[in-house]
Amino acid sequence: MISFAVIGGLLLNIGAFLTFRGKIYQAIIVYLFADICWIIMAYERDDFWGMLSIIVGVTLGLLAFLKMKNGKMNKTLNKEENDL
């Protein structure tokens, strides 16, 4: 039988592939589904601290997604000369 950990891992690989292809918004949604699988796995194992840390990570990821989608995230990978 396939476990939630395996499903989450497969979704993580799909999200990484989507990130590689430049489809960031779709990748974030896939990552959130992977996180939900890991929350369920932690709940089944009565791992309160694991569940709490995953929920905090999911919340921060969701907030970053919303910030990106609204266009309020102004980050670049190119360094300016004065940033050195």
Going residue by residue through the chain (84 aa), what tens digit of pLDDT does each one get? 788 888 888 998 999 999 888 888 888 889 889 988 888 888 888 988 988 888 888 888 788 778 877 777 666 656 665 555
Enter the tokens of residue 3. Answer: 């476990």
Q: What is the DSSP string of the chain?
A: ---HHHHHHHHHHHHHHHHHTT-HHHHHHHHHHHHHHHHHHHHHTT-HHHHHHHHHHHHHHHHHHHHHHTT-----SSPPGGG-
pLDDT at 14: 94
Domain ranges, ordered by start, for the chain:
4-71
